[in-house]
Structure formats: structure tokens, C-alpha cells
Amino acid sequence: MLTLVTGGAGFIGSNLADELIAQGHEVRILDDLSTGFAENLPADALFFEGDLCDEELVAEAMDGVEVVFHQGARGSVAKSVETPLVTDLSNIHGTLTVLEGARHAGVRRVVSASSSSIYGGVAPRPTRETEPLTPKSPYAVTKMAAEHYLRVYWELFGLETVALRYFNVYGPRQDPESAYAAVIPKFIAALRAGEPPTIHGDGAQSRDFAFVGDVVAANIAAASAPADRCAGHAYNIAGGSERSLLEMLAILGDILAVTVEPAHVEPRAGDVRHSFADTSAAAADLGWTPTLDFAEGLKRTVAWFS
């Protein structure tokens, strides 16, 4: 199967590209390297360097492709609060450009990364896909809008689309150096350096952390699930347990054999307080469930960073 992974030099996209190649698929990657890294690119993948909004480049990368895995995006909530227009351009216009390219190229299916942030942290937990969407940040708004485009392209044009609502993905290749890095790589880097990890707020906020290997498996499952069950739909993709930041820090402290003394600062604008997913719809329609225990996932992540 010929596939295209947008954002394939990034954290999730590069892990997905590696697994697709390992399973014998042909992989193309489209990435502008603004947040991804050239060293993440698999040697066996054909690389197209450029922007998601470049219609000609997207059409060239899309030619002959059967399945698109759309992982490319501006992924930071905090960055979206600071520069919402940049996030909007990449995440909404970029997604629409990918969908148009896929439609005209005769692509069978687009599997696209969405986000749990669209729930806004106010839905009952565990949260089902049928709950109201109340995004609290520009980033979350862009992901909600992108989901609507995905559904519309299935309903209007018959392009099979599946949106995967990621819940706090972590694992190897997650960048700890970015000012907007996710919490787990930041915590690991601080603890390894003997520095106090910074917590925004009291640390009681909770997340449903998903290991990147499980997320990769969800994407591949979504590429082959029957269209009459999944096309035009969105699915929660998560790890299956709700963990507070303080609990996660304690596990990391045990793994690294260090004493954890976090530094608490003000909460960040746009962050949700709690998130915990019901993934039963993905199990029923995609045949996917998370398999890796959270503590084991943290061990593998620490080992990679070490």
C-alpha cells in the first residue's frame, strides 16, 4: 500500500512511518521541518519538504497514494494562544488543502489526527465521542473545525475520513527542548538534570496518557476498518487510565531513582483540568484498544531519553 504521512518528521508521524515501513508499506512523508527533525525521517521513505498549504506540493506528494495519515499540525495549546493565526493557517487551511489534494488524487482514505482538547475538560469522565464539544483554546478550535471538514468530505465527496482524538500522547522522539514541549519529556529532562520539574498549577490536574506505539496501532487500524462503520466518524485514542501530574511524577521518580520536588507556577491559559477517555467506540469500530501499561510506557520513554 502506498501511503503519505504528513508531519512524518515529527514525534507521532515518524513513529508511524517506521511502523508502516516495517509492515511492508511504501511511505511518503510531507513535512516542513518547522517542529519535526530530519533525523527522524526513515531512510526508506520518499521525503517532500514543504508546507501543508502548498497545493502543488501536496498534489505531487499525493499522486497515486491510497491512504493519507494526516499528522501535520501546529500542536501547542500555549503557542496557539500566543499566535492563533499561525495555528489556524496550518491546522485548518492545511487540513483543507490535504483533503482537496486527496479528493483530486483519488485517495481511498484520510486518517487525521484530532485532539481531546476539543472537549474543553467539561464533559463527564470517561468522555464519550457524543459529548458536546467546548474548545478552550485556538488550537482546540482548529481541531474541531478540521473534524467538521473531514466529515463533510465523506458526506459530499465520498472520501473516506477518520478522525482520531488523541489524549496526551507520549513516548520516544517527543522533543523536550521546545519551549512548548509536552509535560512528560519536560519532566524527564528536569529529573535527569537534577532540577525541579515545573508544574503549572497544583499538579492534581489529570490526563489519560497514550503511549505512541498504541497511537500508531490506532492509525493503522483506522486505515483498514470497514468504511460503513468508521467513515466520517471521530474516535477517542487514549491509554485507558486517568493519572494526575503528581502521580506521574512519582512514577518517574521511582524509575529514575530520584527524589521529586516540583516547582509550582501559575496555571496556563487554555489548559483543561481533567481528561479521561472512553475508547469503546474505537474498540467496536476499529478493532483497537490500548495495550501498554502506563508505568511500562514511562519506562520505555525514559530508556529512550537515556
Q: Given pLDDT bands bounded at 50, 70 and 90, which one contains residue 268?
A: confident
Per-residue pLDDT tens over the stretch 248-258: 999 999 999 99
| Alpha-carbon gap, residue 27 to 5, rounded angstroms | 7
For the cut 80, the answer to whether the pLDDT of residue 181 exceeds it is no
Per-residue pLDDT tens over the stretch 121-152: 888 999 999 999 999 999 999 999 999 999 99
- Residue 78 sits at the vertex; the CA angle it makes with 73 and 82, to the nearest 5 degrees, is 95
pLDDT of 80 reads: 94
Per-residue pLDDT tens over the stretch 282-291: 999 999 999 9
What mean pLDDT do residues 241-249 have? Answer: 95
Three cell numbers written together for 21? 515501513
Q: How big is the chain, counted in residues?
A: 306
User: What are 29's strand-pairing partners?
Assistant: 5, 47
SS3 47: strand
Q: Given pLDDT bands bounded at 50, 70 and 90, which one contains residue 187?
A: very high
| Alpha-carbon gap, residue 118 to 91, rounded angstroms | 13
| Alpha-carbon gap, residue 276 to 55, rounded angstroms | 37
Q: Are 281 and 128 in contact (CB under 8 A)?
A: yes
Per-residue pLDDT tens over the stretch 94-109: 999 999 999 999 999 9
Q: Burial code of 39-54, b = ≥16 C-beta within 10 A, e = fewer? A: ebbbeebebbeebbbb
Q: Which domains does the chain have, with CATH numbers?
A: 2-171+210-239+278-291 (3.40.50.720)
Which DSSP string corresponds to 48-63?
Answer: EES-TT-HHHHHHHHT
H or E element, residue 304: helix 294-305
Handedness of CA 119, 120, 125, 126 (dihedral sign): positive
| Alpha-carbon gap, residue 92 to 40, rounded angstroms | 25
pLDDT of 271 reads: 78
| Alpha-carbon gap, residue 54 to 112, rounded angstroms | 18
H helices, E strands: number in the chain: 12, 13
pLDDT of 178 reads: 67
What mean pLDDT do residues 41-66 have? Answer: 98
For the cut 70, the answer to whether the pLDDT of residue 34 exceeds it is yes
pLDDT above 70 coverage of the chain, percent: 99
Q: Given pLDDT bands bounded at 50, 70 and 90, which one contains residue 306?
A: confident
| Alpha-carbon gap, residue 176 to 263, rounded angstroms | 17
Residue with cell 521511582: 254
Mean pLDDT, all residues of the chain: 95
pLDDT of 67 reads: 98
What mean pLDDT do residues 186-203 have? Answer: 94
| Alpha-carbon gap, residue 31 to 48, rounded angstroms | 7
Q: Are 52 and 58 in contact (CB under 8 A)?
A: yes
Residues in Cβ contact with 303 at an 8 Å cutoff, skipping those fewer than 6 apart:
none
Three cell numbers written together for 202? 497544583
What mean pLDDT do residues 211-238 have? Answer: 98
pLDDT above 90 coverage of the chain, percent: 91
What mean pLDDT do residues 229-242 have? Answer: 96
pTM of the model: 0.94
